[in-house]
């Protein structure tokens, strides 16, 4: 069925729950006069759903005089009427009715079946006969009052399809569904609609039917990014039945919120969604801890091992490589499986592990060598390849490499030299001496990413990503859980143990060893073990260490044990110690027992790396288990500040084409340096989570770039973002765990609903029943697409409302804000945005940091955002009707965006 323009113009004329004699299910021998099941009309603007009235031409001619009636059970239906501006002939009406009767025949069966499966009687029909004038609409006193006074709107995850050259002030805004005024004299306006395909309107027997808006071929599916957005609002979950069939009246005096609670079951779905998504924003994912300290702990790396996929073995093509196999068989002394791990004991302790395929794959790797998810037979790759570089000229680094080579040979992880020439099938990569992360000495790193035919380019990167790392979320849970089970005066201590030479404990398969040739002073050595520099090395060791942690938790009874690559950490009661004879000292009880396990398995460790105390640095963050705080160590903070100073400094201006004496031009860095800075900043977000917007432009600059030594230029905007972060870090404090816990709508200090249209901005403070309205600032860039303008205005409205909340609230407030724009919800959930709205995120972060507030932004359907929607359009009477006693005041939007003139 195609909706004609005349029909679109009439969608705001509504009728509610009318019963037509032709709709009586007891009188269905013929379908010639039977009204069809409601056809859902959906668009990216969330146009109100259109229902079709009785197929009687005389009634159609009366459609222009229809009055607005109140809903009877939380749903609303509209009679179709002809447009008052587009006359139609009786012939066109008859043709249209014939199409509708055919549709009725096709949909009758599915409509009745949907009624049965939703528990609705086919014969209990409640409603008014045609011609009976209903009472005026009641005034709703609920926050969503408009639900009972306007047409039901579907929701969408897409922005409005606004004509970029014509910004009508009556158009819907993103996911905002336009609400009809409950006043008889209100101006009715309909948003443009599009008709979904037959496939998209297929009925479902489930109470939760997915919305299927029409979509252009090849257009991205927004629900792939946000599956929750496919769920319809609570007000729209109505049985997919005949538009005239009703199942019972809600009392006319019932508030909209109460009616919605009884009419649908979707409220609980929305609450679950808000709890899972809106109240647990992504940018705080490592700094949110449950209110109930005794609740279940989050899964750790040990838990992950119970469902992990087995590690790979070489493919048939790799195993049948004649060149590599020939070299390995001719020089067997160069290739060996070397590891200190007692595999038999390890495997025996894992005999009750629920994921035996994973256990066996790790044990096979320890016995036969691990395989790094590689395809060594890629087209165009040479069998033998030399990318090695000469020994460094720096005496200190050269001496370290020679010394480390000798250590590796003594431990049999390097072969003895086999000469200066590579054998068939061998690959040699560059070797570097780089400072360790803690600055304590150097580390040998093999650059597996160097060269056109690098080893890392053979590895399936998607397979080695996502291996678990326990983090500050686990640390916080351990402490809160321990605190809840102990008297308040009991002091706690943190402990941390480090595995020595962690990656090197894992042997590699001989068919990979042949590609790990290290060249020092022109002499060649086979590296037999997992190497620093391989993109698969971390995944291999994490797989092994996850099983060690599983043994500790399930065989030794550890309650609090986290692992971060080669670091293991936990919490104990201060003074609860045991004597560890190899170090001749007392250690926290569980730390000592973990070292005992490592000794049993053959895992090496060094005394200086086994630490404990309060506070203690865990994963680079100072953790105080008694003050319950996280903070950056002073030395680490200063290093980060120094790095940001280097990156954010504006380059000096040249004089006569030359830089001033002593000046350095820092406008570009190698890609590997960019990635290091991104990792450094991400680590700091454990403490400075609100500074995440400083990374958005950095991500944009490195997107699609893969060559580590390629230089990438900075720009003015990116340097400004880094200076913004730098200023905050200099004056920042640690995160108080007790302030960073999860909270819900009942815990909010202030609740605000926000909306915007192309004529204005509006927000409603529910607590004080105060509304605010502002005209929109003009956009200076005429080429900006309409959906981006809409997006910007919605975000601007929310940040302006946040600033108002900050000004009227005390510090440490919990601010809850609702928006019906899914894009705005996304950016405030992730603090990730493009450059055109990144300034808005930075401004929001400034406000939250200044007031030490906690913000949650929740997405709601436009039908539930009546007051803010009316305010944004200047329809103040509709806003007051939806929230009686509403006080309306003007406000001045914030002005700081380079694209926005105020």
Q: How many CA atoms lie within 13 A of 564 on its CB side?
A: 17
Average pLDDT on 248-255 reads 34
Residue 160 predicted with pLDDT over 70: no
Considering the chain, what is the average pLDDT of its residues?
75
For the chain, the first-to-last Cα distance in angstroms comes to 46
Strands (E), 371-436: 385-386, 427-428, 431-435
Burial degree of 343 (CB within 10 A; 0-12, 13-18, 19+): middle
Give the C-alpha separation, 334 to 320, whole Å: 20
Domain 316-467+501-545 has CATH 3.40.225.10: no
365 to each of 343, 541, 543, 865, how far by Cα in Å?
A: 10, 11, 11, 58
pLDDT at 875: 96
pLDDT tens per residue across span 784-793: 666 678 889 9
The reply to whether 634-652+662-738 shares the fold of 316-467+501-545 is no
Of the candidates 841, 869, 781, which has an alpha carbon nearest to the alpha carbon of residue 173?
A: 869
pLDDT at 439: 66
pLDDT tens per residue across span 798-840: 999 999 999 999 999 999 999 999 999 999 999 999 888 999 9
For residues 613 and 637, the answer to whether their CB atoms sit within 8 Å is no
pLDDT at 50: 33
pLDDT at 278: 86
pLDDT tens per residue across span 721-732: 999 999 999 988
Average pLDDT on 3-25 reads 35
Which is it for strands 854-859 and 814-819: parallel, antiparallel or unpaired? parallel
pLDDT tens per residue across span 26-58: 333 333 333 333 333 333 333 333 333 333 333
pLDDT tens per residue across span 695-710: 999 999 999 888 888 8
Instruction: Identify the weakest region by mean pLDDT among 180-189, 876-885, 886-895.
Output: 180-189
Give the C-alpha separation, 24 to 286, whole Å: 57
Could you give the 3-state DSSP secondary structure of residue 888? strand
Instruction: Identify the weakest region by mean pLDDT among 262-266, 328-332, 625-629, 852-856.
Output: 262-266
Which residue matches tokens 């899972």? 276
Give the C-alpha separation, 470 to 560, whole Å: 11
**pLDDT > 70: what percent of the chain?**
65
pLDDT at 165: 35
Which of 148-152, 181-185, 484-488: highest mean pLDDT? Answer: 484-488
pLDDT at 577: 97
pLDDT at 271: 55
For residues 85 and 7, the answer to whether their CB atoms sit within 8 Å is no
Res. 902 pLDDT band, cuts 50 70 90: very low
Which residue matches tokens 């297929």? 202
Average pLDDT on 164-191 reads 37
For residues 347 and 353, the answer to whether their CB atoms sit within 8 Å is no
Domain 634-652+662-738 in this protein, CATH class: alpha beta
pLDDT at 777: 84
Give the C-alpha separation, 528 to 519, whole Å: 14
Cα angle 709, 711, 715; round to 5:
150
Res. 781 pLDDT band, cuts 50 70 90: low
Domain edges within the chain: 1-278, 316-467+501-545, 634-652+662-738, 745-901
pLDDT at 97: 55
Average pLDDT on 477-496 reads 93
Burial degree of 79 (CB within 10 A; 0-12, 13-18, 19+): buried
Res. 264 pLDDT band, cuts 50 70 90: very low
Res. 289 pLDDT band, cuts 50 70 90: confident
* Conformation bin of residue 351: beta by default, left when phi > 0, alpha when psi is -120 to 50: alpha
Contacts of 482 by beta carbon, 8 Å cutoff, 6+ apart? 492, 560, 571, 625
pLDDT tens per residue across span 598-629: 999 999 999 999 999 999 999 999 999 999 99
Instruction: Identify the weakest region by mean pLDDT among 127-131, 284-288, 421-425, 856-860.
Output: 127-131
Domain 745-901 has CATH 3.40.50.920: no
The CA R_g of the chain, rounded to the nearest whole Å, is 33
Helices (H) and strands (E) in the chain, counts: 26, 26
Strands (E), 139-237: none
21 to each of 18, 53, 55, how far by Cα in Å?
A: 10, 12, 11
pLDDT tens per residue across span 99-150: 555 554 444 444 344 434 444 333 333 333 333 343 444 443 334 443 333 3
pLDDT tens per residue across span 387-441: 999 999 999 999 999 999 999 999 999 999 999 999 999 999 999 998 887 667 8
The 8-class DSSP code of residue 242 comes to B
Which is it for strands 385-386 and 427-428: parallel, antiparallel or unpaired? parallel
Of the candidates 182, 192, 183, which has an alpha carbon nearest to the alpha carbon of residue 147?
A: 182
pLDDT at 780: 56
Q: List the beta bridge partners of residue 587.
A: 578
Which residue matches tokens 């939007």? 893
Instruction: Identify the weakest region by mean pLDDT among 259-263, 433-437, 631-635.
Output: 259-263
Res. 778 pLDDT band, cuts 50 70 90: confident
């Amino acid at each position: 069925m195609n909706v004609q323009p005349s029909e679109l113009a009439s969608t705001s004329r509504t009728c509610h729950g009318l019963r037509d004699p032709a709709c009586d299910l007891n009188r269905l021998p013929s379908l010639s006069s039977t009204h069809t099941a409601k056809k859902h009309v959906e668009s990216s603007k969330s146009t109100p759903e259109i229902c079709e009235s009785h197929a009687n031409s005389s009634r159609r001619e009366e459609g222009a005089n229809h009055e607005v009636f109140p809903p009877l059970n939380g749903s609303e239906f509209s009679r179709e009427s002809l447009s008052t501006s587009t006359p139609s002939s009786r012939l066109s009406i008859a043709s249209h009715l014939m199409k509708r009767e055919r549709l009725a025949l096709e949909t009758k069966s599915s409509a009745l079946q949907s009624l049965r499966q939703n528990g609705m009687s086919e014969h209990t029909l409640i409603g008014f006969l045609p011609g009976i004038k209903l009472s005026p609409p009641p005034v709703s006193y609920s926050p969503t009052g408009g639900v009972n006074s306007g047409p039901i709107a579907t929701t969408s995850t897409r922005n409005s399809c606004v004509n970029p050259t014509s910004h009508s002030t009556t158009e819907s805004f993103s996911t905002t569904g336009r609400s009809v005024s409950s006043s008889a004299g209100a101006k009715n306006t309909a948003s443009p609609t599009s008709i979904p395909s037959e496939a998209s309107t297929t009925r479902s027997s489930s109470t939760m039917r997915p919305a299927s808006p029409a979509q252009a071929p090849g257009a991205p599916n927004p629900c792939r990014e946000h599956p929750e957005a496919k769920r319809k609002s609570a007000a729209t979950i109505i049985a997919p039945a005949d538009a005239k069939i009703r199942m019972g009246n809600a009392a006319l005096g019932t508030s909209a919120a109460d009616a919605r609670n009884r009419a649908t079951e979707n409220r609980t779905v929305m609450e679950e969604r808000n709890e899972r998504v809106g109240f647990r924003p992504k940018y705080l994912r490592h700094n949110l801890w449950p209110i109930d300290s005794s609740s279940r702990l989050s899964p750790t790396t040990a838990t992950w091992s119970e469902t992990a996929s087995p590690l790979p073995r070489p493919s048939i093509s790799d195993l049948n490589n004649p060149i590599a196999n020939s070299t390995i068989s001719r020089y067997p002394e160069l290739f060996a499986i070397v590891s200190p791990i007692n595999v038999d004991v390890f495997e025996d302790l894992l005999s009750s592990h629920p994921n035996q395929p994973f256990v066996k794959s790790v044990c096979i790797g320890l016995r036969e060598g691990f395989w790094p998810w590689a395809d060594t037979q890629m087209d165009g790759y040479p069998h033998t390849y030399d990318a090695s570089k000469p020994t460094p000229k720096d005496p200190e680094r050269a001496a370290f490499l020679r010394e480390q080579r000798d250590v590796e040979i003594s431990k049999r992880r390097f072969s003895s030299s086999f000469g200066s020439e590579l054998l068939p099938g061998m690959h040699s990569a560059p070797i570097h001496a780089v400072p360790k992360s803690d600055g304590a000495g150097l580390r040998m790193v093999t650059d597996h990413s160097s060269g056109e035919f690098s080893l890392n380019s053979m590895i399936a990167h998607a397979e080695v990503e996502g291996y678990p790392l326990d983090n500050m979320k686990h640390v916080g849970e351990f402490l809160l859980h321990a605190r809840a089970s102990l008297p308040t005066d009991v002091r706690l201590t943190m402990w941390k143990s480090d595995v020595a030479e962690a990656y090197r404990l894992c042997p590699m398969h001989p068919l990979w060893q042949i590609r790990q040739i290290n060249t020092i002073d022109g002499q060649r050595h086979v590296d037999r073990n997992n190497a620093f520099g391989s993109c698969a090395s971390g995944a291999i060791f994490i797989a092994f260490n996850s099983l060690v942690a599983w043994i500790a938790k399930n065989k030794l009874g550890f309650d609090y044990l986290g692992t971060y690559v080669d670091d293991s950490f936990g919490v104990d009661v201060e003074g609860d110690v045991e004597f560890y004879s190899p170090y001749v000292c007392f250690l926290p009880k569980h730390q000592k027992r973990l070292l005992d396990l490592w000794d049993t398995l053959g895992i090496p460790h060094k005394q200086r790396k086994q630490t404990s105390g309060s506070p203690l640095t865990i994963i680079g963050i100072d953790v105080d288990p008694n003050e319950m705080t996280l903070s950056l160590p002073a030395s680490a903070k200063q290093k980060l500040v120094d790095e940001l100073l280097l990156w954010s400094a504006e380059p000096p201006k040249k004089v006569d084409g030359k830089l001033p004496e002593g000046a350095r031009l820092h406008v570009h860095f190698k890609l590997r340096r960019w990635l290091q800075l991104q990792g450094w900043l991400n680590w700091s977000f454990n403490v400075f989570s609100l500074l995440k917007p400083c990374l958005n432009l950095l991500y944009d600059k490195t997107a699609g770039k893969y060559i580590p030594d390629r230089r990438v230029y900075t720009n003015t905007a990116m340097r400004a973002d880094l200076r913004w972060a730098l200023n905050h870090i200099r004056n920042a404090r640690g995160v108080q765990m007790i302030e960073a816990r999860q909270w819900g709508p009942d815990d909010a200090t202030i609740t605000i609903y926000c909306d915007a249209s192309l004529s204005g901005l509006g927000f409603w403070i529910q607590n004080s029943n105060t509304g605010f309205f502002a005209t929109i600032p003009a956009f200076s860039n005429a080429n900006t697409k309409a959906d981006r303008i809409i997006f910007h205005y919605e975000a601007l409205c929310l940040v302006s409302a946040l600033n108002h909340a900050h000004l009227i609230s005390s510090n440490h407030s919990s601010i809850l804000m609702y928006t019906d724009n899914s894009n705005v919800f996304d950016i405030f959930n992730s603090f990730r945005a493009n450059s055109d709205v990144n300034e808005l995120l930075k401004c929001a972060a400034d406000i939250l940091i200044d007031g030490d507030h906690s913000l949650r932004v929740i997405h709601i359907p436009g039908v539930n955002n009546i007051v803010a929607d009316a305010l944004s359009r200047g329809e103040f009477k509709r806003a007051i009707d939806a929230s009686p006693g509403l006080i309306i005041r003007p406000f001045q939007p914030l002005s700081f965006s380079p694209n926005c003139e105020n």
